[in-house]
Amino acid sequence: MHRTAIAHISGPDRPGVLAALMDVLGRQGADVLDVEQITIRGRLLLSVALRIPDAQDPFKELLYYGWEHGLQVDFQLVDDGGDVTLVGGQRHAITLLGAELGPAAFGAAAGAVAACGANIDRITCLAHYPVEAYELIVSSTDIAPIRAGLVAASRTHRFDVAVQREGLGRRALRLVALDVDSTLIQDEVIELLADACGCREEVAAVTARAMAGELDFEESLRARVALLAGLDAGVIEEARARLRLTPGARTFVRTLQRLGFRTMIVSGGFTPFTDHLRNELGIDHAYANELEILDGRLTGRVVGPVVDRRRKAAILREVAAAEGIDLAQTVAVGDGANDLEMLAAAGLGIAFNAKPVVQDAADTSVSVPYLDAILFVLGIRRGDVVAADLAEPTGN
């Protein structure tokens, strides 16, 4: 016969603590069923699930070891029904992002989980810069009401929340597709071109309506491009020199590349800009519309099929197939209605500083102004990003 217990050990961390504790348990004939340990600023928090023969009593030995080394040791006898783990049930990863995640925000998120009778198994700090980010691993049989509660809390306390199924699938993501205008870059390239003919405000108004889903994208694009007819092709280079990357864009792409992701940009803009960005950032694939140029001047027309919402989704599928990557292993990031089908087709669709129609449709939404914050949604820690940069300086 045996008993089952969970030992909780806390106190100052030092090398050899776990080895010594396991030695004590081994000498008492205990079986280790599960272990979880974290260290916060030099403080150890360790839990060990044990199966103990009735004839043995490791508790006294563990208490004595703890007393000798300044560790607090507590025990909890459990009825395991033949098995025990420290965590259980269907698990989801909940990512919280915000400029500041204070007690009110954290409390609201935890309350949304608790209100559904779910349990938070683990909390991990992912970043304090450029935003605060935490990952909560939650066990629950029904994530839908938890998601709804978290979304309501996020709106009240102004933080972003992403809910994903925890497991191998989340760690198998391999291709990231990015929109360009107002996502990878801060600008709308057609508005930069429109500056040259004095019609930026008119073009910007049409762009805003198209991105909000109020206008057909292809019709609106052709109408906007028609306003550029007669411009010297040199305006393309002038506009390209004015491109502004979104803060964190270089870090985001560089980190994905180091992790072995394939990257692509797919844009309703134009190839001279996407080709430039592909070369500058080392992106694997780039797709956009082609402006027609005759005798050194823009004709006001595009060549070939327009990269609209359907074409964006089709390109994602084509690239994934060519790379041998399942669509479930893809991530798509965008901000406008033209991205909706691409976000829906991807395994994970992320609305980045997006229009309301896109926020409502995407799997998750990120509203902070830093593109590299998306790394935290993927479970990547800021410390790992910095460590990689220090190990491999790039100057970016």
Q: What is the DSSP-derived secondary structure letter of residue 86?
A: S
Please name the amino acid found at residue 3: R
Angle made by CA atoms 135, 34, 167, in degrees to the nearest 5 = 40
Q: DSSP assignment of 126-139, as one string?
A: EESSSSEEEEEEEE
Strands (E), the chain: 2-12, 31-40, 43-53, 72-78, 91-98, 119-127, 132-139, 160-165, 175-178, 262-270, 285-294, 297-303, 330-334, 348-352, 364-366
Q: Is the dihedral of CA 321, 249, 361, 365 positive or negative?
A: positive
Q: Beta strand pairing status for 364-366 and 348-352? A: parallel
And the tokens for 225? Answer: 């491009």
Which residues pair with residue 97 across a beta bridge?
133, 160
Q: What is the DSSP-derived secondary structure letter of residue 185?
A: B
Residue located via tokens 């669509």:
327
Q: Beta strand pairing status for 2-12 and 91-98? A: unpaired
Residue located via tokens 């800009």:
273
Residue 180 and residue 268: Cα distance in Å, rounded? Answer: 8
**Which is nearest to 361 in space by CA: 339, 376, 379?**
339
Q: Is 181 a catalytic residue?
A: yes
The one catalytic residue in 181, 308, 335, 363 is 181
The one catalytic residue in 160, 179, 339, 363 is 179
Q: Is 195 a catalytic residue?
A: no
* Residues identified as active-site: 179, 181
